[in-house]
Amino acid sequence: MSTATKELLVQMQINRGNATAGGSGANVMASAMISVLVTHDGVPVDDLGANVGDQNSAATLPAGWTLVDGFNVRPGGALVTVTEFLNQGGGLYDIRIVPYLDNPAAVWLSGEYLFALSIHTTRAHHGHTTHFQGAALAKLTIL
């Protein structure tokens, strides 16, 4: 069985939405939304995960998705928890985030937060295995 690796183009933007300084908890009123567009050779990749999460509790990203935060959190700042993953179709995905739920004192602080997203998936087809991978970096600004 042969193996190939192909690059996904992952584009990511973050909408502050309802997230404001002092906001916290697992609810839409404290959430920001990460929008991700994934393509390969200009064609949308729309089968990288199914909808999960209810916006009110922690949710898990699909297999192969990794969201990294915390590498630039200012003192007193919080990591984040994913509360929803939506496959919008056409290669577009949304990830809803809130301040870290395992710490009741976690709140958004004003300032900038950086997030990195990587996607690694494998497909087998007619005796060939293909690894797809891609990553993106985006900034969230909380007022």
Contact 32, 97 (CB under 8 A): yes
Question: What span, in angstroms and rounded, lies between the C-alpha atoms of 45 and 43?
Answer: 6
Q: Residue 106: beta bridge partners?
A: none
Residue 138 in this model has a pLDDT that exceeds 80: yes
**Distance from the Cα of residue 15 to its chain's centroid:** 12
- The arrangement of strands across the sheet holding 2-7 comes to 2-7, 128-142, 111-125, 65-68
pLDDT tens digits for range 5-58: 899 999 999 999 999 999 999 999 999 999 999 999 999 999 999 999 999 999
Q: Is 130 exposed, middle or buried (0-12, 13-18, 19+ CB in 10 A)?
A: middle
Model confidence pLDDT, tens digit, residues 66-99 = 999 988 777 777 799 999 999 999 999 999 999 9
Q: What is the pLDDT of residue 2?
A: 64
Domains of the chain: 2-134 (2.60.40)
The pLDDT of residue 42 = 95
